[in-house]
Amino acid sequence: MVSRTHRENKMTKVIEVNCETGVVTERDLTAEEIAQREADATAHAAAEAERTAAAEALAALKTSAKAKLVAGTPLTEEEAATLVI
């Protein structure tokens, strides 16, 4: 059985297709499915924010390391590690 959620219904409906019989059923999401969807969305947003913060921190570290190289000042170990390939 395959389930798909309708975007045009603000993701409150599910269409289930029984591949063996071809019977198509449309139903409302259960409270548990809605709660799980909301939990998944929250977890995804948190993970995305974490990835964005990590990418920004790495970019700032690389910028700092490059500026220090140009200025001839010593790098921290962390800055040097970003430049090692």
The pTM assigned to this predicted structure is: 0.62
State which H helix or E strand residue 83 sits in: helix 77-83
Distance CA 49, CA 7 (A): 24
Q: Could you tell me the residue range of the domain that residue 42 belongs to?
A: 2-83
Res. 78: pLDDT tops 70: yes
Higher pLDDT, 44 or 2: 44
- The count of structural domains within the chain is 1
Q: Which amino acid is at 37?
A: R
**Phi and psi angles of residue 84, each rounded to the nearest 5 degrees, phi first:** -75, 130
- The string of pLDDT tens digits covering residues 31-72 is 999 999 999 999 999 999 999 999 999 999 999 999 998 898
